[in-house]
């Protein structure tokens, strides 16, 4: 038995279809008119294909069929394999790769934010400050303290290609694949001399494209490896992507001493304030598979921006802050 479609590329979400992307065509059936009438009704509903194997063929020019009809059967799954796993496949972007292919599927942890057309998404805002706040470097009640004022910017949201498979056989192949979540500091890890940078991301919520994303402990302070089953349909390509969030922190500092707070300025002056830059990448829980390689983009997102981290209204030269504050800055490489 065989399953065939005529289609425009469309999204395949958790086994369901978004109908606005679908054009059906019946290739062969003993009685096409009978199936056509049956499926005209079901086409109005969300049609689910749980654990269904699907192949794609083009419609013959002489076919005389109803454009909303479809024939569906399940294909067997074989344990033997001629599937080639490609860790670094050549770039082979389809001319229609701005949409997911027929078996593009979201992972169980994926969000429904529609960011599945490009490898990279950037904010439409020039200053995509998505989080701000203060972290304590040290504090001695009644004596002195020091704080880091953090302005956190979302630099990009990315789909990282981890692996791809090419199935040249006539049967669906099933594989197990493991992916890992976690946080990596790519620049400015010395900031940990003042506060725990990774911990500052735990529980943080950011807003973009009318949705909210909150980061878990397994994405920030620890890591987690998850193993899933991946089905590769016959005669097809399947590409596995995991989402990565890239952030940039701009951090200035406050010395709390002599009865008030002071911004910490540079040596011999008051401006610009001493600043530390830190960059972080979070490999998140979201993943999805696609039948095409995604183009690089970038696509655009709308971020919910927040006010800057509060600073004070007066500044001290760096040489005039407390010894403890200067020592922390030294350890941060400033």
Q: What torsion, rounded to 10 degrees, do the Cα atoms 177, 181, 185, 189 define? A: -120
Residue 64 in domain: no
Contact 261, 254 (CB under 8 A): yes
Residue 89 in domain: no
Residue 205 in domain: yes
SS3 assignment, position 298:
coil
Q: Distance between CA atoms of 69 and 51, rounded to whole angstroms?
A: 21
Contact 132, 309 (CB under 8 A): yes
Q: What is the pLDDT along the chain (334 residues), one digit of tens a residue?
A: 433 333 333 333 333 333 333 333 333 334 444 433 333 333 333 333 333 333 333 334 444 433 333 333 333 333 333 344 444 433 333 322 333 332 344 554 444 467 899 999 999 999 999 999 999 999 999 999 999 999 999 999 999 999 999 999 999 999 999 999 999 999 999 999 999 999 999 999 999 999 999 999 999 999 999 999 999 999 999 999 999 999 999 999 999 999 999 999 999 999 999 999 999 999 999 999 999 999 999 999 999 999 999 999 999 999 999 999 999 999 999 9
Residue 21 in domain: no
Contact 254, 149 (CB under 8 A): yes
Give the tokens for residue 242: 């995991």
Residue 36 in domain: no
Q: Distance between CA atoms of 182 and 285, rounded to whole angstroms?
A: 9
Residue 19 in domain: no
Q: Residue for token digits 């920030």?
A: 220
Residue 120 in domain: yes
In this prediction the pTM is: 0.69
- HSE toward the beta carbon, residue 145, CA cutoff 13 A: 15
Closest by alpha carbon to 230, among 167, 304, 188, 151? 167
Q: According to the 3-state scheme, what is the secondary structure of 149-174?
A: EEEEEEEEEEEEEEEEEEECCCCEEE
Residue 41 in domain: no
Mode of pairing for the β-strands spanning 120-123 and 299-301: parallel
Domain count, the chain: 1
Domain residues for the domain of 278 are 113-331
Contact 47, 17 (CB under 8 A): yes
Q: What are phi and psi of 46, to 5 degrees?
A: -75, 120
């Amino acid at each position: 038995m065989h399953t065939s479609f005529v289609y425009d590329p469309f999204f395949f979400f958790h086994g369901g279809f978004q109908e606005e992307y679908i054009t059906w065509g019946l290739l062969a059936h003993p009685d096409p008119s009978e199936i056509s009438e049956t499926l005209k009704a079901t086409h109005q509903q969300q049609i689910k294909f749980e654990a269904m194997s699907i192949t794609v063929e083009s419609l013959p020019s002489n076919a005389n069929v109803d454009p909303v009809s479809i024939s569906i059967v399940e294909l067997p799954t074989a344990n033997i394999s001629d599937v080639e796993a490609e860790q670094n496949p050549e770039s082979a972007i389809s001319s229609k790769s701005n949409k997911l292919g027929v078996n593009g599927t979201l992972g169980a942890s994926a969000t429904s934010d529609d960011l599945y057309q490009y490898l990279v998404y950037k904010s439409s805002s020039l200053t995509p400050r998505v989080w701000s706040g203060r972290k304590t470097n040290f504090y001695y009640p009644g004596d002195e303290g020091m704080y880091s004022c953090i302005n956190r910017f979302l630099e990009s949201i990315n789909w990282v290609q981890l692996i791809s498979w090419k199935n040249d056989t006539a049967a669906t192949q099933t594989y197990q694949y493991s992916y890992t979540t976690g946080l990596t500091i790519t620049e400015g890890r010395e900031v940990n001399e003042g506060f725990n940078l990774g911990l500052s991301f735990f529980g943080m919520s950011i807003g973009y494209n009318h949705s909210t994303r909150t980061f878990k402990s397994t994405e920030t302070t620890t890591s987690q490896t998850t193993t899933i089953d991946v089905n590769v349909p016959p005669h097809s390509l399947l590409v596995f992507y995991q989402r990565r969030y890239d952030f940039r922190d701009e951090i200035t500092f406050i010395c709390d001493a002599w009865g008030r707070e002071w911004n910490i300025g540079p040596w011999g002056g008051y401006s610009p304030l001493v600043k530390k830059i830190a960059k972080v990448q979070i490999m998140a829980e979201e993943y999805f598979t696609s039948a095409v390689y995604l183009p690089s983009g970038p696509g655009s997102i709308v971020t919910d921006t927040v006010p800057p981290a509060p600073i004070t209204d007066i500044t001290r030269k760096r040489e005039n802050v407390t010894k403890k504050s200067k020592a922390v800055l030294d350890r941060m490489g400033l």
